[in-house]
A and B are shown apart, each in its own frame.
Chain A
C-alpha cells in the first residue's frame, strides 16, 4: 500500500467541541458534535486540562453528542480516570442511548492505572553487568561453535560422501565466480592508485621503476588478501547470515534439529568449504588485476611492459613464491573466519524481521574486525619468523 507523502495526520472534518464551565462548585464539561478519532483529537487536550484544573465534582454532559466511537469512549474514560485518581466524584450525563452499548464494553477499572509502555529504565551498574554477561556468553558460544565446526569439518574430510558437495559448489559459484567482476575492479583500481600515488613521489628520486616492486609486494602479501576478504565479508558473509537467519525465523532450523540433522553439518560446513575454496582464486584474481593496474601506471612513465615484467619477476627485488604463498595462506584463513562468523550470526538470529537484518550487519562487522585482527597477527608472525 502506498501513502501520500504530504498526508500527515490532520483533522479534516473535526466538528467536536468542548465547553467547560463551573456551576455551583461542579465543573460541567459539555461535549458536542462527532466524537470520532478526529473529534477526540480536537477536544482531548482542552477537556483533560479543564478536568485537571478543577478539584470539585465533575460532570460530563454528552447531550449534544451526534456520534461516538472508540476514540470518543476513550475521552470519557480518560475524564473518569482523572477524576477517580484525584478522588473527585464524576458523573456522565445524557449519554446517547445508542452508544451506551459501546461504553459498556469497557470496564473502567481496567484502565485506572497508566499503562507502562516504555521499557523500564535501567541504571549504569545493571547495564555494565548485562553487557559483561552478554560478552561472556558470546565468547562461550563462539568457542563452542568453533569447536563444533572444527569437528564437523574434520568429519566432512573423513567422510566425503556425506558432505553436500553439490551445495558447496553452488555456493562457491555465488561467493566466488559471481564476485570476480567486483574483485577485478577493486584490484585494478587498488594497483592503479597505489602505483600512481607512489610513482608521482618516487619519480623525483628517479626510482619510479621500483613502483613495480611496491605494488607487487604489497598486493601479494597484504592488500590482495585483505580486499578480497572484505569483499567476501560484505557479499557473502552477510548473505550467509541472512539466509540462515531467515531459516531460523521460519523454524527451518528447528525442523532440521527434529530430523536429527545437525545444522552446523548441514548448513555451515558446505558454506565454509565453499568460501575457503574460492578465496585463493579471488585473491589471485585481485592480484592479477592489481598488477595490471600498476602496469598501466608504469607504462605511462614511458617504460616498456617488459621492463615492468622483469622488475616484478626477475630483478633483485623481485617477488618470490613465499610472498604469494603467505598471501594465499592469509586468504584461506580469512575465508574461514568470514564464512564461519557469517553462519554463526545466522544461527544466533533472534525472532522477528529486524533480527535478520541485525544478523547480517553483525556478520559483516565481526567479519571485518576478525580480518583486521588476524591480519595484524599474521604480519607480526611472518616478520618474526622471517618468512
Chain B
C-alpha cells in the first residue's frame, strides 16, 4: 500500500522566464487520494500539467512508476501515457462525438479490441459513473456535472491505476460536487485507483483526501503536507489555518 507511484524531485516550473514553482519534493503512494491544494494562481494546474507530461519541467524530474515522462519519446512515451487518465478542468470532451464515442476513443487508439468490445467497455465505464443511459448523447446535451463524470469515464477507459483530476468540483453545485466526491471515493476503494486531485474546494478535501500538499504563491513551494484534519487543527502556518478556516484576512 505504501508503494510510491509518482515521485517529484526538486521540481521547478517556469512560465516565460517567470518561476511559478520551485524546489518541490513529494511523492504519491499507490492507492491514495492525493490532493494538491492552494489558492488561485499558485500553480496547481501548472504542476498537474507537468505531471501528465504536457510541459517539461524547468529543473528536477517527475517520475511516474519510475519513468520520466518529460524525456520519453515514441513508444516509451505512449507506454507511460497509457498508465494514467486525466480529467481536464472543463471536461474537454470532444464536442463532435457522442459520450460513448468519447469514452471509446482511448480504446481505439491504444488497443486492438473488436468494435463491439470497445462499445461494451465504453458503456460499462459510463455506467460506472452513472451515465449508462446517456451513451448516445452529445456532450452539449448534458449538464456540466454529467460532462465531468463522462470525462472521468473517458479517463478510466483503459483501466489506469492512476487518475489525475483537475478541479473536479469547479462550477458545480454542492450536491453534484458531493456526488462526484462520492464517485472518487468509491472508485478509489473498489478499483484501488490512485487519484491526484487539484482543487480548492474545502468540502471536497475533507470528503476525499487521504493526503494533501498545499502550494503557496509567495514561497513558490509546498507550505504544508499531511492529512486535511491535521493541517486544519495543528498547522503552525497562519496562511494554512486561514485557508482551512475560510478567512479573508490572516489572523493577527
A residues neighboring B (CB under 8 Å): 1-4, 6-7, 9-11, 36-38, 40-41, 44-45, 48, 69-71, 73-75, 77-78, 101-102, 104-107, 110-111, 115-117, 119, 351-355
Contacts and interface: CB of A to CB of B under 8 A. Distances in A.
A115 B135 contact: yes
Interface residues of B, number: 41
B143 interface: no
Nearest to A14: B112
B150 interface: no
28 contacts: A4-B75, A6-B74, A7-B74, A7-B75, A9-B110, A9-B111, A37-B113, A37-B121, A38-B111, A44-B113, A69-B159, A70-B124, A70-B156, A70-B159, A71-B111, A71-B117, A77-B124, A102-B191, A106-B124, A110-B127, A110-B132, A111-B123, A115-B100, A117-B98, A117-B135, A117-B136, A119-B136, A354-B96
Contacts of B74: 4, 6-7
Given A4-B75, A9-B112, 12 more contacts: A7-B75, A37-B113, A38-B111, A41-B111, A48-B116, A70-B156, A71-B111, A77-B124, A115-B123, A117-B98, A117-B101, A354-B96
B78 A352 contact: no
Contact of B95 (A6, A115, A352): A352
Interface of B: 53-54, 73-75, 77-78, 81, 95-96, 98, 100-101, 107-114, 116-117, 119-121, 123-125, 127-128, 132, 135-136, 139-140, 156, 158-159, 190-191
A167 B112 CA distance: 54
A77 B120 CA distance: 9
A351 B95 CA distance: 8
B132 A74 contact: no
Contacts, number: 112
Nearest to A70: B159
B159 A115 contact: no
Nearest to B74: A4
Nearest to B190: A101
Nearest to B138: A352
A70 B125 CA distance: 8
Contacts of A116: 135-136
B69 to A, nearest CB: 10
B159 A9 contact: no
A38 B109 CA distance: 12
B139 to A, nearest CB: 8
Contacts of A40: 111, 113, 117
Nearest to B187: A105
A6 B73 CA distance: 12
B190 A102 contact: yes
A115 B158 CA distance: 20
Residue of B74, B111, B132 ringed by the most chain A CB atoms within 10 A: B111
B77 A4 contact: yes
Contacts of B110: 9, 37
Contacts of A9: 108-112
Contact of A117 (B78, B81, B119, B124): B119
Given A106-B127, A352-B95, A37 B135 contact: no
